[in-house]
Amino acid sequence: MKILVISLAGIGDTLLATPLIHELRANFSNARIDVLTKEAGARDLLKNNPHIQHIHYKNLMRCGKWEALAFLEKLRDEEYDLSVNTHPQSRAVYRAAAWMIGARVRVSHFYDRIRLWDRFLCNRNLKQDYSRHSIDNNLDLLSLIGASPKLARHEMEVFLSPSDEAWASDYIARNKWNGKVLLGMHVGSGGTKNLPLKRWPLNHFIELVKKLNHLRPELQILLFGGPEEASAHAKLLEQADPANTHEVKTPDLRLAAALIRHCHAFLSVDTALMHLAAAMKISNQMVIEAPTLNVTNWPLGPDCTVIPNPMVNGKGLDFYRYDGGPIKGSREQLIRIMESVTVESVLEKVLQKV
């Protein structure tokens, strides 16, 4: 049996699909299980996963139309028996990709704004449930293929190698951070649609870091992110104390994960790095509530605090649903929403955790 897990929505969503991948292996022990992803970071985090035979990687949203069609045609030649579109992939283009790959059984969820052709793109469908986490929505798909959960626990899985762990330990040693309290921080967010508007304002982050530099000078603040955060990091570092505020640059996301594991606390909005910190079982995780946070993507860290947003107030689904659209509201409204989380409220929680 040949199974293709299609996870094209993002890095965090691919992490949330790893419990399903493990369950597929538990249910179909002799199957070949491959994964298709469009994010390099997702590909990196899936490496060494013992339940996967091959990772197909292609950003179908950025390559040309003919290049994308040629890639999908090549996957069609693999003649998969089953493809599984993981939650949440609400855009019809993701189901169209499954249809073009052409597995005999194509499994997906029905999302908001369902169209008639969705019933043909994937031929076994289950309505998504906003009251259940994405991990559980994914596991619900097992019922469509005659399978059921067999594992006692379902956790996000990243299989770091000894060399990954050694690199992080060496990085800590070279920077003389051994024995020091490390606060990981991610100032960014997803870059598609209008998702950058769910970021906590950079000037708030700057003020927070300056206050922490003053109140907790022994605290080492590590700024995580990729090239898309470089500009924000540069502005923040201009005003922060260079003795205890550092931009972390890692060659890939696996090494970032290995380094995050050394952190005593981690602060972000709901991003891929939020899920990665949870997967690394970071204690003292803090998440600033944004309009995109809801039950389906709730952080699953062992000790996580959600810092309330007074203008969201637990009603993220009023702002953002899995219908292929952006966050509801004008640019000005969404900026005001994230500005409503004060520096003082975040500082209070951080000081409690570190």
The whole-angstrom separation of Cα 63 and Cα 282 is 36
* Domain residue extents for the chain: 2-145, 162-353
Residue 133: name the closest of 320, 302, 295 by CA. Answer: 295
Q: What is the DSSP letter of 251?
A: S
Angle formed by the axes of helices 230-239 and 202-215, to 10°?
40
| CATH classification number, 162-353, choose in 3.40.50.2000, 1.20.120.1770, 3.40.1390.10, 2.102.10.10 | 3.40.50.2000
pLDDT 10s digits, 230-285: 999 999 999 999 999 999 999 999 999 999 999 999 999 999 999 999 999 999 99
Query: Residue holding tokens 């899936």?
Result: 46
pLDDT at 189: 86
pLDDT at 190: 78
Query: In this structure, what token pair is assigned to residue 339?
Result: 């500005």
pLDDT at 64: 84
For the chain, give the mean pLDDT. Answer: 95
Q: Which CATH class is domain 2-145?
A: alpha beta
The better pLDDT of the pair 119, 210 is held by: 210
Nearest-Å Rg of the Cα atoms of the chain is 21
CB 337 within 8 A of CB 312: yes
The whole-angstrom separation of Cα 115 and Cα 23 is 30
Residue 10 has pLDDT above 80, yes or no: yes
% residues pLDDT > 70 (the chain): 100
pLDDT at 94: 93
pLDDT 10s digits, 280-307: 999 999 999 999 999 999 999 888 999 9
Q: Rounded to the nearest 10 degrees, how much is the dihedral formed by the CA atoms of 140, 189, 59, 254?
A: -80
Q: What is the mean pLDDT of residues 127-135?
A: 97
pLDDT at 117: 76
CB 106 within 8 A of CB 119: no
pLDDT at 192: 77
The whole-angstrom separation of Cα 151 and Cα 312 is 35
Query: In this structure, what token pair is assigned to residue 304?
Result: 């996580």
Residue 5 has pLDDT above 80, yes or no: yes
List CB contacts of 230: < 8 A, sequence separation 6 or more: none
pLDDT at 62: 81
Q: What is the mean pLDDT of residues 314-331?
A: 94
CB 287 within 8 A of CB 274: yes
Residue 167 has pLDDT above 90, yes or no: yes
Q: What is the DSSP letter of 219?
A: P
Q: What is the mean pLDDT of residues 302-331?
A: 94
Band (114; pLDDT cuts 50, 70, 90) = confident
2-145 with 162-353: one CATH topology? yes
Q: What is the mean pLDDT of residues 79-96?
A: 95
Query: In this structure, what token pair is assigned to residue 169?
Result: 């330990």
What is the secondary structure of 178-205 as a DSSP string? TTS-EEEEE-----STTGGGGSPPHHHH
